[in-house]
Structure 1
Amino acid sequence: MTRSGRVLRGSSLLVQSGAATDVGRVRDHNEDSLLAGARVFAVADGMGGHAGGEVASRLVVEALQRLEDAPATRPEDVTAALHAANRSIQDAVRADPALRGMGTTATGVTLVETGGSEHWVVFNVGDSRVYRLAGNRMQQITRDHSEVRELVDAGLLDPADAASHPLRNVITRSLGTDPAPDPDVWVLAPTPGERFVVCSDGLSGELDDRDVMLLARRHADPQEAADELVAAAVRAGGRDNVSVVVVAVSADGEVDEDTEPRSGLRP
């Protein structure tokens, strides 16, 4: 399991993050990529088999990483980064036709400075998810771009049956297509005490929302929360790669001073 974490000290916010990923019990390699940066936190779930999915998801993370070097000031900057990732995926396919058919989801949150204050931009393409926990409630901010979601929205499928439906893994929007897909984008004001869970469907496909909420809240340290969420999904079946980034927002002065950034491989 790969794990990483860091603390961001902003002008008015203290943001801690933790990240973990695991290949799971069925797949022979991990096509997920994740980013737990200073301002950008994301998960990309690649598809395409062999090395293709891994390449596509890595290219998305590389494009989003550039928002760390030139921080976004508008939601449009995040959309532009994802469109740039889409072009990079298509360029990679043109350079190596063996990668044809690869693609990836992309979802996450990033801090932008707009109108003189910081806001979160939540973004999504595909069926990876961003959950927001505040107080005793958890909300799925993103909307799955999937065949099952469309059936539920049309009233043709009971939400309780979505997890076992044969079309549950068919997505309707992904990066790597022509024309480039437009991401869904939400702008949220930061709230001290809130927490985000950014995850691939390897988590949401194994754990229900209630379990995600309980595990995400059980550990004050977001790295421990990310580790436990991934481990729980693997224990529950691990039928897919599992990737999680947990982001915790505190008021200035509330972060444990003993918390240190960590990265590397856990034995």
Structure 2
Amino acid sequence: MGAASHVGAVRQVNEDACFAATHLALVADGMGGHARGDVASRLAIDPFRALGARTDLVPADIQRALAEANAGIVADAREHAEREGMGTTLAGIALVDYFGSPHWLVFNVGDSRVYRLGATAVSLLTHDHSEVQELVDVGRLTNEQARVHPLRNIVTRSLGTDPAPEVDVWLLPLAPDDVFLVCSDGLTNELDDATIAALGSVSSPTGDAAARLVAAAVEAGGRDNVTAVVVRVPRAATVEDPSQVATGPRSAHLSEESR
């Protein structure tokens, strides 16, 4: 795994936070400005740090960390009046045991994203919770129009709410040479898919790929904080039966029954 983050060319504070460990990669994009979006993103990441060294994760571990993250942000905002209204997106990927087989658990809330990177193309694995995505879903905007729409920064779901938001989840079988990108919208609002595919080259070290992606987004305008984590599966990894993959959002996979 390799990670990079930059405040961008316009903002004064980096409200993004990221975490990359053995079997876990996360990006949070805080919201709130003076209400301390940087605090919200840090609080979202903190519960996952205890999972960083573990190699025996199950979906329920991610469920507990997500619940703790949301509760922590809500409690902090109640304790500090100046932080009322703060929140954060969160996107991530974790290697988990799912009924005896290793799978990638991909999850997101908000508009931070997870992609699978190929040699010449990228595949978006998550679904944005945003005003513009809702307009795309009903056919009122194209994806290209959404990238420059004035409502593109308005999210419809985030951590830091009571009741807690629903988190979208996907399960993917482990495959050798898979490469994933976890990123904030500061990257995807500046770079198109072709550029992301080219700069996230599967043949380069993950740290170099993450740094190239962030630098390109800043050079393209850097109108927001920019964060990227690149994850590569070793060639020696086991290939699982593709029939085991769950291809839609499946919050049920986060239940205690997934142990």
* C-alpha contact (below 8 Å) 2:122/2:196 kept by paired residues: no
> Counterpart of 1:92 in 2: which secondary structure?
helix
**Cα distance, 1:70 vs. partner?**
5.7
Matched, 1:177 2:161: yes
Match of 1:125 among 106, 109, 121: 109
TM-score by length of 1: 0.84
- CA distance, structure 2, for counterparts of residue 144 and residue 72 of structure 1: 29
* C-alpha contact (below 8 Å) 2:118/2:197 kept by paired residues: no
- CA distance, structure 2, for counterparts of residue 221 and residue 69 of structure 1: 21
Matched, 1:198 2:155: no
> Counterpart of 1:231 in 2: which secondary structure?
helix
Matched, 1:20 2:1: no
> Counterpart of 2:116 in 1: which secondary structure?
strand
**Cα distance, 1:66 vs. partner?**
2.5
> Which segments of 5 or more consecutive residues in structure 2 lack a partner in the other structure?
238-259
Aligned residue pairs total 237
- What's the C-alpha RMSD, in Å, of the aligned pairs? 1.7
Measured at CA, do residues 74 and 188 of structure 1 come closer, stay the same or move farther in structure 2, by a change above 3 Å? same
- CA distance, structure 1, for counterparts of residue 170 and residue 91 of structure 2: 12
Matched, 1:33 2:51: no
1:11 counterpart residue number: none
- CA distance, structure 1, for counterparts of residue 24 and residue 2 of structure 2: 12
TM-score by length of 2: 0.87
> Counterpart of 2:152 in 1: which secondary structure?
coil
Identity, in percent, stands at: 52
Measured at CA, do residues 238 and 219 of structure 1 come closer, stay the same or move farther in structure 2, by a change above 3 Å? farther
> Counterpart of 2:105 in 1: which secondary structure?
strand
Q: Give 2:125's aligned amino acid.
A: I
Matched, 1:57 2:23: no
Match of 1:44 among 1, 13, 28: 28
- CA distance, structure 2, for counterparts of residue 160 and residue 94 of structure 1: 39
* C-alpha contact (below 8 Å) 1:110/1:120 kept by paired residues: yes
* C-alpha contact (below 8 Å) 1:79/1:182 kept by paired residues: no
> Counterpart of 2:50 in 1: which secondary structure?
helix
Matched, 1:158 2:139: no
- CA distance, structure 2, for counterparts of residue 28 and residue 142 of structure 1: 29
* CA deviation map 1:11-54 (0-9, x unaligned): xxxxxx10000000000010110001111100000011136111
* CA deviation map 1:171-205 (0-9, x unaligned): 00000011100110001011111100100000000
Q: Give 2:122's aligned amino acid.
A: M
